[in-house]
A and B are shown apart, each in its own frame.
Chain A
């Protein structure tokens, strides 16, 4: 990724509403052809950031630089970028074809040429040709997605922005469209900048991910880096279920957990680490009695189990019934734990699966 030239650069880009900094001086470089996803919870400033990049909000600090040219003051209709909106914003009074051709019509392209281009895009997005004269209000959710994407592609933008376009779509279709979008990215070779609140969605599609929180870009990295080396507790928890224990550093490079009155091993200790949280992913935990010994072990009681399709999660409670510490263990279905609820179990993990983060 890094070998490609930089296309879009954010230099100290910020936006404040009065005293509140919605976006707090972000520096970022996005490469040509990259699929970059910004994730964050609602209110993290990701939509404001995207709208600044698309030219629909004015930044109050910093610069947006496209191919070395500052484009802060270029209005949205002159920027070589295009947005797919959360509501899709398809023109309800226009047909599928007219929607896709909108940008070409504005540019003054002849009707016949427009239609050829529109049909090309419809083929690319697997929209049947006979949808051309169909009203967009008659299209299904997935079809509307494709029309919106085709309409943006017809503008032939250097960068395509996506504002959570899949958030209102049901789970199964969303999973299909996520993969389709990645295929379109490959097919067109365009730069995609996508925002979503779902890190899971980001993982599927992105080359790189930027995690935002309270206006700050907390961490930027490949999906693998974000997953295996989250920078802080917020990023580690954002991916889904995690087991977190407060720990502090003690003599001999070991970690002391006061809650369990035990020491844990941790080979990947960050420099200068004194106290913080130990994070263990559910799939890194195992049932020691059955799966074999581990470096760190805790004894508890099996409280409940949850079937998640190909995987099964177990809730194990460690400690006295009141104030017990809850652990989530995840196994593939083939390695299901064959026991009863309330069994005494021992769970464990190895030091290489420990992730240490600050607060």
Chain B
């Protein structure tokens, strides 16, 4: 028992060290955003929220937020619908091509995103499409639909197909079965899928880089700024991105936990 504790402690220690490692950059961004001097010098001598004010007052930044949110919202809506049915085909139904289909779904995930972005750029060009946030949304979907399909599939795997048969047997029509049983039972999976879709689109850089054209998303803007040299606006936006993702995800997780608890009373 003593040995097991010793080993368990080692695993915990290592895990916490890696968690720290994962969040160290976010901490640096946060600290840098609180500096009011032009350059970041640690330990910070001039604390202040000056750059926060400046960043949020900027009209350019407002436009960036609009583009990013619009893209993410459109991607989420389309991805969830296609992936929901895709997940039923992935995990619910036994059909002849299922095994191959499952692997096809995985291919875009197992693919370097920068190359995928370029490939889409060439494709849009060959079609003569004008690049904009719409083409970027399409590009995001190529990668995000498979991811969301997997996320929803995990919920579908624990779905008992007899539930649908039972509802049908009790007199429900195909549509009623879907509305009364299939959809509500799978809703937590759909919800996590939507969360993933929104956040992955919001934070995506390699696909946006080649496919947004004149429109710019926040990750692209940050990239341009950081390559060009230091701007204190970068840490501010970086902090906002990280905190936003954390709040959405932790909030969503809390919502699912509450949901389960309420259902079990």
Q: Please give the residue numbers on chain A whose beta carbons come within 8 Å of chain B beta carbons, in ascending order.
A: 54-56, 75-78, 81-83, 85-87, 89, 91-93, 102-103, 106-107, 135, 137-138, 151-152, 155
B263 contact from A76, A82, A135, A152, Cβ within 8 A: A135
Interface CB pairs A-B, < 8 A, 26 = A56-B165, A76-B165, A78-B171, A82-B169, A82-B170, A85-B162, A85-B166, A89-B160, A89-B162, A91-B166, A91-B180, A91-B185, A92-B163, A92-B185, A92-B263, A93-B184, A93-B185, A102-B167, A102-B172, A106-B171, A106-B172, A106-B176, A135-B263, A137-B263, A138-B264, A138-B265
- Shortest B179–chain A CB gap in Å is 11
Report the number of A-B residue pairs with Cβ-Cβ less than 8 Å: 68
Interface pair A85/B165, CB less than 8 Å apart: yes
- Shortest B46–chain A CB gap in Å is 55
Interface pair A77/B166, CB less than 8 Å apart: no
Other than the known A91-B167, A93-B184, what 11 A-B pairs have Cβ atoms closer than 8 Å? A54-B169, A56-B169, A76-B165, A77-B168, A77-B170, A78-B171, A85-B165, A87-B162, A92-B263, A93-B263, A102-B172
A77-B172 CB under 8 A given contacts A56-B165, A86-B162? yes
- Shortest A50–chain B CB gap in Å is 12
Chain B interface mostly? helix
Chain B residues, Cβ within 8 Å of A151: 170
**In the bound complex, how far is the Cα of B173 from the Cα of A155, in angstroms?**
14
A77-B165 CB under 8 A given contacts A91-B181, A91-B185, A137-B264? no
**In the bound complex, how far is the Cα of B160 from the Cα of A119, in angstroms?**
27
Q: Mark B151-164, 1 if CB is under 8 A from A, else 0.
A: 00000000010110
Interface pair A155/B160, CB less than 8 Å apart: no
Shortest Cβ distance from A135 into B: residue: B264
Q: Mark B252-265, 1 if CB is under 8 A from A, else 0.
A: 00000000000111
Ranked 4 nearest A-B pairs via Cβ: A89-B166, A89-B162, A103-B170, A85-B162
**In the bound complex, how far is the Cα of B167 from the Cα of A56, in angstroms?**
12
- Shortest B170–chain A CB gap in Å is 4
**In the bound complex, how far is the Cα of B157 from the Cα of A47, in angstroms?**
23
Interface pair A77/B173, CB less than 8 Å apart: yes
Shortest Cβ distance from A102 into B: residue: B170
A135-B172 CB under 8 A given contacts A83-B166, A87-B160, A89-B160? no
Chain B residues, Cβ within 8 Å of A82: 169-170
Residues of B117-166 at the interface with A, using a CB-CB cut-off of 8 Å, are 160, 162-163, 165-166
Chain A residues, Cβ within 8 Å of B168: 56, 75-77
Q: Please give the residue numbers on chain B whose beta carbons come within 8 Å of chain A beta carbons, in ascending order.
A: 160, 162-163, 165-173, 176, 180-181, 184-185, 263-265
Interface pair A155/B170, CB less than 8 Å apart: yes
- Shortest B251–chain A CB gap in Å is 22
B163 contact from A83, A91, A106, Cβ within 8 A: A91
**In the bound complex, how far is the Cα of B259 from the Cα of A137, in angstroms?**
14
Chain B residues, Cβ within 8 Å of A135: 263-265
**In the bound complex, how far is the Cα of B162 from the Cα of A86, in angstroms?**
9
**In the bound complex, how far is the Cα of B171 from the Cα of A151, in angstroms?**
12
**In the bound complex, how far is the Cα of B168 from the Cα of A200, in angstroms?**
32
- Shortest B130–chain A CB gap in Å is 45
- Shortest A87–chain B CB gap in Å is 5
- Shortest A166–chain B CB gap in Å is 16
Shortest Cβ distance from A86 into B: residue: B162
**In the bound complex, how far is the Cα of B168 from the Cα of A155, in angstroms?**
12
**In the bound complex, how far is the Cα of B171 from the Cα of A107, in angstroms?**
8
> Which of B167, B170, B172: most chain A CB closer than 10 A?
B170
Interface pair B171/A155, CB less than 8 Å apart: yes
Shortest Cβ distance from B185 into A: residue: A93
**In the bound complex, how far is the Cα of B184 from the Cα of A76, in angstroms?**
22
- Shortest A192–chain B CB gap in Å is 16
Chain A residues, Cβ within 8 Å of B163: 89, 91-92
Shortest Cβ distance from A138 into B: residue: B264
Shortest Cβ distance from A82 into B: residue: B169
- Shortest B187–chain A CB gap in Å is 8
**In the bound complex, how far is the Cα of B163 from the Cα of A86, in angstroms?**
11
Interface pair A77/B169, CB less than 8 Å apart: yes
Shortest Cβ distance from B262 into A: residue: A135
Chain A residues, Cβ within 8 Å of B173: 77
Chain B residues, Cβ within 8 Å of A92: 163, 185, 263
Chain A residues, Cβ within 8 Å of B265: 135, 138
Chain A residues, Cβ within 8 Å of B172: 77, 102, 106
- Shortest A242–chain B CB gap in Å is 36
Chain B residues, Cβ within 8 Å of A78: 171
**In the bound complex, how far is the Cα of B172 from the Cα of A83, in angstroms?**
14
Chain B residues, Cβ within 8 Å of A76: 165, 168-169
Chain A residues, Cβ within 8 Å of B264: 135, 137-138
- Shortest A78–chain B CB gap in Å is 8
Chain B residues, Cβ within 8 Å of A55: 169
